[in-house]
Structure 1
Amino acid sequence: GRSRKDRVGGAPGDVLGIDAGEWGDENRRMVTELKEQQRKLKKALEEQVKVSRETAKMARWVKQASARMTHTDAIDDPLSDIDDDDELM
């Protein structure tokens, strides 16, 4: 708990020399600011989640596209070799 020496004079309503009413206003202002910060943070996090999902979607798409490309390349290579050989004969 608080000992008596924590208090430095003043009326019982005074906290560190600040009027109790002022203290309440300051508290409300801080709470309002914190709520605002929290709201902004939540919004930013939601944005980040959305971006992450989009990024994951793109990564999957690129992976699939590149898999298809290497697949067709693998098929094209032997065929192109055959074409070249035919021309040589």
Structure 2
Amino acid sequence: MIEAAKRHSENYWIKDFDPRARITRWTHIRKLALIFEIDRGMISEAEACSVHGISTDELAEWRLRIANYGVDAIKATKQPWRRGE
């Protein structure tokens, strides 16, 4: 997970991400940045979920999608792997 975030941090603003700031629109980069900050120990998973109003299941789903399909899998677009759900 951290390796994927590192690759994206070179091109995007993950380095400037504040994991405690209120987010109103979750882009795939913001999702990745939050996971990156959790993995780095900058914020706990419980605190991240509480601050952002997301469930631990939703966070786990983001992690699973990244692990199985890559960073593009957490984009908010129609995704082919959802057809079977």
Return the TM-score normalized by structure 2: 0.24
Q: TM-score under structure 1 normalisation?
A: 0.23
Whichever structure has more helix as a proportion of its residues is 1
Higher relative contact order (CA 8 A, sep 6+): 2
